[in-house]
Amino acid sequence: MRIRSILGALVIASLPVIPAWAEMTPEEIKKMVDEAVKQRLEEQQRREGGMERREEAPPGAQYPVPVGPMTDVKVERPGEERVPLSFGSTGSGRLVYAKPFVAAPKAIVGGYFDIQYRSQSKGSIENDYGGTSNGFDQQRFIPFIYADVTEHVKFASEMEIEHGIREETGSPNEVSLEFGFMDYLINEKVNLRAGIILLPIGKFNLLHDSPLNDLTDRPLVSQYVIPSTISETGAGIYGTFYPGRTSKLDYELYVTTGPCSYNNDGTPRINEAGGTMDSRQRTCPSTDGLDINNGKAWVGRLAYSPMLGVEVGGSSYYGNGAPNGSYNSLSISAIDWTFQRGPFELIGEAAWAYARGNSRSISSSTGFPVGALLTAQPGNSGLGIPPQRMNGYYIQGNYHFMPAFLTKLSPKRFGEGSTLTAVIRYDRVNTDLDNFNGTGGFGNLQQISFGLNYRPIEDAVFKISYQYQPMAFNPNANSGLGARIHDNALVISAATYF
Amino acid sequence: MRIGSVVLIIASLSWSGCASLSGSKDQFYVCSYDVAWDAAVLSVKDRPVQVADKDKGVIETNWVEVEGAERTYGIFDREGFGNRERTRMSIAVKRLNDVVSFSVLETRQRWHLKGGVGQQSTRWWPIDPSEEAEASVTDRIRKTINEKGCVTT
């Protein structure tokens, strides 16, 4: 009130002497003074508010610093924000930010990471250095980007960095684009996809992320017969049908770059020790990423789910793996199954591969006449004849549980959303069904795994497992050609999406 | 042949699974088929009906998108792929002399169930049906049927 009186006096004093005052009524003069006082009071309040805000403002930058819409970057001159991004766009170095996913964020950046410690009874881990029996390995660091470009256009990609970034070349240490594709969604029955595509051979290749899997190591059949992770450049269609009240039919069909089954000198890349691993284009000596012949590969998977929790899938891959002038196809067929009932799961897959003509020479540069039986080829046991036929399978049982006493002990760590899983898996694979030399071949493997893992949340997992390998292969054995061994291993790992 | 044995086991498990995991709950009423059919149609009037075949006794609604339970993504609990779910209701009406049976089943799916962005992840994944949604439809049928003077067996 006191302030108002003072201001009133000041206002009256500051009001210009207007001759018209003489003609104004006392009410009009009072009204004019009140309005002027009110105006001054509001100005004063604004000033004081501003001072308070300045006093409250932090002395330095606070993190995280709020980021405004990046469209501002383009607004260097009025009206420019309305110019669509194209070669007609102008700007300084900041143009690098003028990307749709920055201007209108629809992209998700994330990934997954894993780390493992492995201890084996035999020194069979580190190849080329005589072998070690235990060690750490940061096997996969996988950033991904996913974008809803429009309602009907989607983009997904995954970069793969394996074992850290290593300088040595020619080894399986990888930095590569595991997949990167664009989808055009037409309807649920038919959709288009093009790019580097995860090949739908079996189910594991499609769902291979470390945090998803309940054991650290991938199934043997998904390493040697189906060379997971296998992805190739191509295009195709996928979709879903609903043939019944509870049933569902999913399909995927793609045509892609074909396999790379031969080296430059015509020697086969498919062998007992690695199975079909080296037939992937990503490991091919061809450096331009293109096919080594004019043929393409076809791959498709059909999965039928009669009801929730049950799915059986069948898939097949076929392509010419030989350089132009030869036709030696690689075909892989697989079936996979998933049964879920309450806390129980039974999953697995079986696969068969046939590398036509893989045991015979396709070129005289191999040192053998064309058509002659190849011998002494690296990676093959006995006479060293490369294999043509291989197969394998795995069966895995999972049981999800959470003891009440743990939840009671620590509801935050073992409460809702967390789970323990007991796992048992049987693996069997033989990468040379043509091998009759009595050694069983380098790729004649058998493994039983017992595991227990803890998921504090669904997207993160800590795993421990014991592997018993009644039939294993030691690449570091003194013979130089490896040896059949009985091995066992303790594997501890962690993996998480981020 | 071991692989053959594996295939056999899977086939038998799949077969028995079909018999044991149907999921729907049947209800029986002493009622005329016409009254029962009308009650079934009325029970899903708030959904777009895709199939309504009175001779076969099948009603199937189209997908309806709904907001699902909130789920964050990764260890940082980020909002990643949303909480989209969609549901579809199917009702089978069967007649046996003076008795009719209703079987109500919801099919529910979630966009991006779990994991990263593999080409299998960003699609609709089947999840457990909502018991509340199924009960709601069942209750509507029961209410309509009872109003028409039909009784539960």
With a cut of 80, say whether residue A94 has pLDDT above it: no
List pLDDT tens digits, range A238-286: 999 999 888 999 999 999 999 999 998 999 999 998 999 999 988 888 7
Question: What distance in Å separates residue A136's CA from the closest CA in chain B?
Answer: 23
Instruction: Note whether B119 contacts A179, CB cutoff 8 Å.
Output: yes
With a cut of 90, say whether residue B114 has pLDDT above it: no
Instruction: Give the model's pLDDT for residue A321.
Output: 94
Instruction: Give the model's pLDDT for residue A101.
Output: 53
With a cut of 80, say whether residue A477 has pLDDT above it: no
CA angle A177/A178/A181 to nearest 5° reads 85
Indicate whether A290 belongs to any domain.
yes
Instruction: Note whether B3 contacts A245, CB cutoff 8 Å.
Output: no
Long-range contacts of A148-151 (CB under 8 A, 24+ apart): A148/A106, A149/A100, A149/A106, A149/A182, A151/A185
Residue A57 structure tokens: 């403002």
Instruction: Give the model's pLDDT for residue A22.
Output: 52
Portion of chain A with pLDDT greater than 90, in percent = 53
CATH number at residue A154: 2.40.160.10
By C-alpha distance, which of B109, B111, B67, B113 is closest to B88? B109
Q: How many residues belong to chain B?
A: 153
By C-alpha distance, which of A222, A226, A228, A260 is closest to A162? A228
pLDDT bin (cut points 50, 70, 90) of residue A50 is very low
Which residues on A lie below 8 Å from B22 (Cβ)? 246, 307
List pLDDT tens digits, range A286-304: 777 788 888 899 999 999 9
Indicate whether B2 belongs to any domain.
no
Do A208 and A139 fall into the same domain? yes
Indicate whether B119 belongs to any domain.
yes
The residue of A189, A311, A459 whose CB has the most chain B CBs within 10 angstroms, and thus the best one to mutate to test that interface, is A459
A35, A56, A77 - which closes a domain: A56
Indicate whether B147 belongs to any domain.
yes
Which residues on B lie below 8 Å from A206 (Cβ)? 118-120
Do A110 and A211 fall into the same domain? yes
Do A47 and A119 fall into the same domain? no
Domain of residue B48, residue span: 23-152
Do A88 and A120 fall into the same domain? no
Do A488 and A342 fall into the same domain? yes
With a cut of 90, say whether residue B122 has pLDDT above it: no
Instruction: Give the model's pLDDT for residue A9.
Output: 55
Do A100 and A239 fall into the same domain? no
**Whether A297 contacts A232, CB under 8 Å:** yes
Distance, in Å, from the CA atom of A302 to the CA atom of A300, rounded to the nearest integer, reads 7
Do A238 and A377 fall into the same domain? yes
With a cut of 80, say whether residue A105 has pLDDT above it: no
List pLDDT tens digits, range A434-467: 876 656 688 899 999 999 999 998 889 999 999 9
The residue of B1, B109, B119, B128 whose CB has the most chain A CBs within 10 angstroms, and thus the best one to mutate to test that interface, is B119
Q: How many residues belong to chain A?
A: 498
Distance, in Å, from the CA atom of A105 to the CA atom of A290, rounded to the nearest integer, reads 34
| Domain count along chain B | 1
CA angle A238/A242/A248 to nearest 5° reads 75
pLDDT bin (cut points 50, 70, 90) of residue B19 is very low
CATH number at residue B146: 3.30.310
Distance, in Å, from the CA atom of B33 to the CA atom of B96, rounded to the nearest integer, reads 9
Element (H, E) at A235: strand A231-241
Do A92 and A121 fall into the same domain? no
Indicate whether B7 belongs to any domain.
no
Do A415 and A359 fall into the same domain? yes
Indicate whether A417 belongs to any domain.
yes
Do A338 and A297 fall into the same domain? yes
Distance, in Å, from the CA atom of A443 to the CA atom of A429, rounded to the nearest integer, reads 7
Indicate whether A49 belongs to any domain.
yes
Which residues on A lie below 8 Å from B124 (Cβ)? 188, 240
Longest dimension (CA), chain B: 62
Instruction: Note whether B75 contacts A197, CB cutoff 8 Å.
Output: no
Q: Give the DSSP letter string of B4-63.
A: HHHHHHHHHHHHHHHHH----EEEEEE--HHHHHHHHHHHTTTS-EEEEETTTTEEEEPP
Indicate whether A62 belongs to any domain.
no
Distance, in Å, from the CA atom of A493 to the CA atom of A465, rounded to the nearest integer, reads 9
| Domain count along chain A | 3
Indicate whether A51 belongs to any domain.
yes
Identity of the residue in B18, B120, B124 whose CB atom sits nearest the CB atom of A207: B120
Q: Is A148 exposed, middle or buried (0-12, 13-18, 19+ CB in 10 A)?
A: middle
Indicate whether B18 belongs to any domain.
no
Packing angle, helices B131-147 and B33-43, rounded to 10: 140
Q: How far is CA B51 from CA A145, A247, B24, B56, in A?
A: 39, 16, 18, 10
Q: Side-chain half-sphere of A380: how many Cα atoms within 13 Å?
A: 26
The residue of A203, A245, A390 whose CB has the most chain B CBs within 10 angstroms, and thus the best one to mutate to test that interface, is A245
Indicate whether A12 belongs to any domain.
yes
Do A49 and A88 fall into the same domain? no
Indicate whether B91 belongs to any domain.
yes
Question: What distance in Å separates residue B72's CA from the closest CA in chain A?
Answer: 10
Complex confidence, ipTM: 0.74
Indicate whether A100 belongs to any domain.
yes
Domain of residue A95, residue span: 67-105
Do A77 and A136 fall into the same domain? no
Which residues on B lie below 8 Å from A198 (Cβ)? 118-119
For the ranges A65-69, A87-91, A93-97, B58-62, which has the lowest average pLDDT?
A65-69
**Whether A189 contacts A252, CB under 8 Å:** no
